[in-house]
Amino acid sequence: MRDRIRVVPLVAAIALFAIISSTVLDLPRESAGLSEEMIGGAAAIHVNNVVTAVLLDFRGYDTLLEISVLMLATVAVLSLRDPRLGTRRRLTGTADLILRSLGEAVTPIMMVVAGYLVWVGSTKPGGAFQAGAVLGAGGILLALTGWVRPSWARHSVIRLVLSVGLLAFIAVSVTPILAGRTLLDYSDDMRHIVLLILESILTLSIGASMLSLFLASASGGEEDEEAS
Amino acid sequence: MSTYLIYAVGGALIFSIGTYALLAQRHIMHKVIGANIMGSGIFMVLIALGKRTPDGVTDPVPQAMVLTGIVVTVALTALGLSIAKRYYTLTGLDDLDQDPPACDGR
């Protein structure tokens, strides 16, 4: 039964392939797209990395909605957790000395790398999401090597860190409206420093989101298997 | 034939393979993986189409869109896995062929 080819999905997939590839083949073979406008615009706002300029400035809506989606998914995943399981548990049964030392040695380096990626984002490939991913990966490494959430990191603190990125982004997006401009239309004199601060806050939130997504999905697996 | 077309049509192929997996597979994990494969196909099409500029400098807008899409895919995958896991915990089933037994809504 598992290996039977299902006709309707197969026809749908082939039809989709035909539609997409014929559309792609139909497009003009050469098109400047928006690269000239973007490169000129990035120079005008003194952000040297064009992709960063597109992400945070020209298509700021995308990034605002992206961080909202991430936040929404985190809230949904956290609320899907099994309520019978405690949250302050070790993920791995035994905290091996070598594993623990590895986590303790590598995580500070990952934090420095995350900071560097935020800083370098305005001139080279990098930025908040990459830095947040590195930060979250560091947290996941710590969790896998037997680290338990410290007692100062209460739920209220975690929720604050999770939401502060979206809240800061909304604040930065709405401020231009109060000054009589449109949404996400940053003023020129403060742009660079505001975007840098915003990226740093976003990095913390994104890292926390990644870690929460992982921990919430990973917790309790072993117990369930033993119980069944 | 331009090189970018190979990647764009390849992306369309990957997208349809993912679509088939999402629709035809009954195991929830296979569906999540299928959705991920669909995303990868879309990213490949976008990146390939950004390469059509006459001066050879890649269009930054599709790149930025793919960066956004990757994060959305991470969110989608995590949510899908969480729902799958909760479903498994509550019903003991890992596919959608059978009806779940009555659930007490824990």
ipTM: 0.81
- Give pLDDT, residue B1: 56
Residue A55 with chain B: CB contacts under 8 Å: 64, 67-68
Ranked by mean pLDDT, which of A54-68, A173-187, B14-28 comes out on top? Answer: B14-28
Give me the residue from B9, B16, B59 closest to A33, CB to CB: B59
- Mean pLDDT over all residues of chain B? 86
Would the pLDDT of A222 be above 60? Answer: no
Residue B106 scores a pLDDT above 50 = no
Cβ contact, residue pair B45, A20, below 8 Å? yes
- Please report whether residue B21 resides in a domain: yes
| Residues of the domain holding B8 | 3-91
Could you give the C-alpha distances from A202 to A14, A17, A131, in angstroms and in order? 41, 37, 9
Listed residue (A134, A96, A139, A94) closest to A113, CA to CA? A134
Chain B hits for A212, CB-CB cut-off 8 Å, are none
Collapse the DSSP code of B45 into the 3-class scheme (helix H, G, I; strand E, B; otherwise coil) and give the result.
helix
- Average pLDDT (A84-95) is 58
Q: For residue range A67-76, list pLDDT tens digits in order.
A: 999 999 999 9
Cα-Cα-Cα-Cα dihedral of B86, B87, B91, B97, to 10°?
-160
pLDDT at A227: 35
The verdict on residue B24 lying in a domain is yes
Q: What is the pLDDT of residue A198?
A: 86
Name which of A43-47, A166-170, B75-79 the model is least confident about.
A43-47
Alpha-carbon gap, residue B84 to A162, rounded angstroms? 24
Q: Average pLDDT for residues B76-102, to the nearest whole number?
A: 82
Residues A14-20: what's their mean pLDDT?
A: 92
In a domain, A8, yes or no: no
- Domain count along chain A: 1
User: What is the number of domains present in chain B?
Assistant: 1
Q: Is B103 on the interface with A (CB under 8 A)?
A: no
- From the list A6, A51, A220, which residue is nearest B60 (CB)? A51
Question: Looking at per-residue confidence, does A182 or B14 come out higher?
Answer: B14
Residue B4: pLDDT band with limits 50, 70, 90: confident
Q: What percent of chain A has pLDDT over 90?
A: 21
> Residue B32 — pLDDT band, cuts 50, 70, 90?
very high
Mutation target among B16, B49, B53, B77 for the A interface, most CBs of A within 10 A: B16
CA-nearest residue of chain A to B95? A2
Residue A89 CB coordination number (10 Å): 12
Q: Is residue A157 part of a domain?
A: yes
Give the confidence band of A223 by pLDDT, cuts at 50, 70, 90. very low
The answer to whether the CB atoms of B74 and A35 lie below 8 A apart is no
When mean pLDDT is compared across A45-59, A108-122, A144-158, the lowest value belongs to: A45-59
**Does residue A147 have a pLDDT over 60?**
yes
Assigned domain for A94 exists:
yes
Asked which of A30-34, A82-86, A146-150 is least confident by mean pLDDT, the reply is A82-86
Can you give the CATH number for the domain in which B85 is found? 1.10.287.3510
**Position A226 confidence tier, pLDDT thresholds 50, 70, 90:** very low
The partner residue sitting opposite B71, judged by closest CB among A83, A129, A228, is: A129
Is residue A140 within 8 A of residue A97, CB to CB? The reply is no
pLDDT at B16: 95
Distances in Å between the alpha carbon of A8 and those of B21, B23, B32?
12, 9, 19
CB A172, CB A186: distance < 8 Å: yes
Evaluate the CA torsion angle B25, B27, B33, B36 in order and state its sign. positive
User: Which residues span the domain enclosing A67?
Assistant: 35-227
> Is A48 at the interface with chain B, CB within 8 A?
no
Calculate ∠ Cα B63-A206-A184, nearest 5°. 60
Q: Identify all chain B residues contacting A13, using CB atoms and an 8 Å cutoff.
A: 16-17, 19-20, 23
Partner-chain contact B52 A29, CB within 8 Å: yes
Task: Kindly tell me if the per-residue pLDDT of A87 is higher than 80.
Answer: no
Q: What is the mean pLDDT of chain A?
A: 79
Higher pLDDT, A24 or B57: A24
Structural domain includes residue A15: no
